[in-house]
Amino acid sequence: MFTGIITDIGHVLSLERSGDLTAKIATRYDPAGIDIGASIACNGVCLTVTALGETPQPWFSVDISAETVSKTNVGEWAAGTRLNLERALKVGDELGGHIVSGHVDGVATVASVTDEGDSTRLVFDVPDALARFIAPKGSVALNGTSLTVNEVEGSRFGVNFIPHTKTATTWGDVKMGDAVNLEIDTLARYVARLQDWA
């Protein structure tokens, strides 16, 4: 489990396709503190560490299945792509965002980017099947970042990014048309499921 509070910005060092996709990702995390088999959320996708190294800089590798590639923006990654990273939650850690599983539900698209003072307002288009799970003032995880929804209009919703978020994550690089990993709030998922059974 994760919180959606990004703790590092890594970048893709290399991608290799042999069966599954293998990504080698540069990080500021100390490899000595990461176990093989540990979970790290990469742009919101929970991935399992399969190898570690320290040269020429600290890095970890992950294997990514075709299913994950088809449901996320991983297919757009290339060498140099910057990624929001978060280590898995430990007992006793501060829960600063909201409960995030790292199981991406689909891909949203950036429909507009507007500066409002020092903040930036983004509007996203979301697949119709996921739109009903997004509520004003509810939580979503976008590229692994825990965010509060401002407003919802049909299959479109908006959020605001404060300056800190833009510098502590990859959101300072965002542009119209970008594909973004979307994870709906776990609570919304279960409420909707209960309503289906009612």
pLDDT of 46-60, one tens digit each? 999 999 999 889 999
Q: Are residues 141 and 189 in the same domain?
A: yes
Q: Are residues 111 and 185 in the same domain?
A: yes
Q: What is the pLDDT of residues 96-108, one digit of tens each?
A: 888 899 999 999 9
Instruction: Indicate the number of domains in the chain.
Output: 2
**Averaged pLDDT for residues 157-170:** 97
Q: Are residues 189 and 130 in the same domain?
A: yes
Q: Give residue 40's domain range.
A: 8-87
Is residue 96 assigned to a domain? no
Is the pLDDT score of 193 beyond 70? no
pLDDT value of residue 29: 97
The Cα–Cα gap between 70 and 107 comes to 10
Tell me the residue length of the chain.
198
Percent residues over pLDDT 70 in the chain: 95
Q: Are residues 112 and 78 in the same domain?
A: no
Which residues, including other chains, have CB under 8 Å from residue 155's CB and lie 6 or more apart?
Answer: 125, 126, 127, 128, 131
Q: Are residues 71 and 126 in the same domain?
A: no
Q: Are residues 61 and 127 in the same domain?
A: no
Is residue 126 assigned to a domain? yes
Is residue 92 assigned to a domain? no
Q: Are residues 193 and 165 in the same domain?
A: yes
pLDDT band of residue 190 (cuts 50, 70, 90) is low
Contact call for residues 102 and 2 (beta carbons, < 8 A)? yes
Q: Are residues 33 and 111 in the same domain?
A: no
Q: What is the pLDDT of residues 64-103, one digit of tens each?
A: 999 999 999 999 999 999 999 999 988 777 778 888 999 9
